[in-house]
Amino acid sequence: LAVGGVADPAAARKALRGELIKIVGPDMSRDLNLDHADSVPAVVMMVGVNGTGKTTTVGKLGRMLVAQGRTVLFGAADTFRAAAAEQLTTWGERVGVRTVRGDEGADPASVAFNAVDEGITEGVDVVLVDTAGRLHTKVGLMDELGKVKRVIEKKAPVNEVLLVIDATTGQNGLTQARIFAEVVDITGIVLTKLDGSAKGGIVVQVQRELGVPVKFIGLGEGPDDLAPFDAAQFVDGLLGE
């Protein structure tokens, strides 16, 4: 079989690998922007619908940052889902990060504000803010997320807004992505449940749709199952290498 005039299977595979890497976008910067002034922490907001693994991703990212020697604080601003603050606190205890939380049903923006405020007082490097992800109406989501971000920005700039998408949702994940991108400036994507390579096509679609890079992929349930996205490694996984 000749592919693009290449008859040798090994050469054809190499050519295909090169093309796939180009499609995945090797030139997009996938670094997490954690630059911040000495007086304030870097702030990362995690957004996405419920059930995508958002709270778990906050925990795993916290673990990764602690392993890099950074000091971290969690803000449990998903006050809508009863178990969310509890889940985040448990993750915090596992990875050595304190969680700032409010009462169930508290104003999410005030919890986020308090987390950043305490982050400033304690001189931490990064505050990771978990947010509610109910898509009951776009207007409600827009109002709430917009308010959380505005209120945080009274204290410190928001460095990153990471959208968490479940890779198994396919087209539905893209629809979610569009809605969140309309609501708040997404700076990067975290794809969870990408342990099956057949789901990989969503990487290309969502990057093209939103114009922002996939920065991390979630590969399982363990605390270390979050990895920086690497285009070449990802393509090798698709090709079964």
Radius of gyration (Cα) for the chain, nearest Å?
19
Q: Which of 132, 153, 141 is nearest to 182 (CA)?
A: 141
Residue position matching structure tokens 């969870």: 192
Tell me what percent of the residues of the chain surpass a pLDDT of 90: 46
pLDDT in tens, 188-230: 999 888 765 555 677 888 888 888 999 998 877 766 788 899 8
E strand or H helix at 45, and its extent? strand 42-47
Q: Mean pLDDT score of the chain, rounded to an integer?
A: 87
Per-residue pLDDT averaged across 136-157, rounded?
A: 85
pLDDT in tens, 111-122: 999 999 999 999
pLDDT at 1 (0 to 100): 47
Residue 3 has pLDDT above 70, yes or no: no
Per-residue pLDDT averaged across 152-181, rounded?
A: 88
Whether 78 and 84 have beta carbons less than 8 Å apart is answered as yes
Burial of 82 (0-12, 13-18, 19+ CB in 10 A): exposed
* Residue 130 DSSP SS3: strand
pLDDT bin (cut points 50, 70, 90) of residue 184 is confident
